[in-house]
Amino acid sequence: MAEGATGRKPLISGNWKMHNNHFEAIQLVQTLSYALSDDDYAVVDVSVHPPFTDIRSVQTVLDADRIPMLLGAQHCHFEEKGAFTGEVAPAMLAKLNVKLVIAGHSERRELFGETDEMVNAKVKAIIRNSMTPILCVGETLTEREAGQAETKVTGQVRAGLAGVTKAAVGAMVIAYEPIWAIGTGKTATPEDAQAMCAHVRAAVREVSGPDAAASVRIQYGGSVKAANAAELLTQPDIDGALVGGASLEAENFARIAQYRLH
């Protein structure tokens, strides 16, 4: 099967977080390009999300070497410009040929106090600048153990998509990342991951209708690695992966993108 549940290619995204200077980023993307073939790109989309300081360097390599990876960013502000020291406007990223921007990652929510309203404003700003948001949703271990996982995720989906057109929602990516599985080595079982991704799709259906729910790509994230990629990514409602630590090693990340072969 060459396509995900949506009829669109699965999206495998590497979130490098606060790792790699621009020299290391260039080396990583070049090594990754050697490990992936045209046959791989024919069945999956691959995006890399380096730190801001690396984006121009990675863009130059992707363009010069005609590497068919998508360039992504990890974050942006929701305003177009202004007195926001240390922030980056979405238009600045669009000028660098950034195609995808992560919005509402749990680390941004938990460590930097991003609210649902801020995430929603960011989603709209990303779309307004002709880029695709990867909207992150997910529950803590405490919320999961209290039976509140579905309620938490439903609330985040509704808030994140508020005021977004049905067509724009259908073109988006939503990443379900259980917070308790990020960087911990713990991973949701394939059955649990499938159930929650199906729940995300149902929440999208309630907010934006059946067409949007059928075409939105839903990623799973949370300690995804080569060893568990195939059993996660072959679930019917999982259309890709948002990969953290394993995306920092070209061989491992390539094997995740090639999950159909393993």
State whether residue 212 is helix, strand or coil: helix
Say how far apart CA 118 and CA 259 lie, in whole Å. Answer: 35
Using CA atoms, how far residue 19 sits from 3, 215, 222, in Å, is 31, 32, 18
Tokens of 49: 């999300």
7 CB-contact burial (10 Å; exposed 0-12 / middle 13-18 / buried 19+) = exposed
Beta-carbon contacts of 161 under 8 Å, excluding residues fewer than 6 positions away, are 120, 123, 135, 169, 204, 207, 208
Among 107, 139, 143, 177, the active-site one is 177
Say how far apart CA 180 and CA 158 lie, in whole Å. Answer: 22
Among 49, 75, 105, 199, the active-site one is 105
Beta-carbon contacts of 90 under 8 Å, excluding residues fewer than 6 positions away, are 76, 77, 78, 80, 101, 122, 125, 126, 128, 129, 131
Known catalytic residue at 105: yes
Do 241 and 233 meet the contact criterion of CB atoms below 8 Å apart? yes
Known catalytic residue at 77: no
Say how far apart CA 58 and CA 72 lie, in whole Å. Answer: 10
How many residues are listed for the chain in this entry? 262
Annotated catalytic sites, by residue?
A: 105, 177
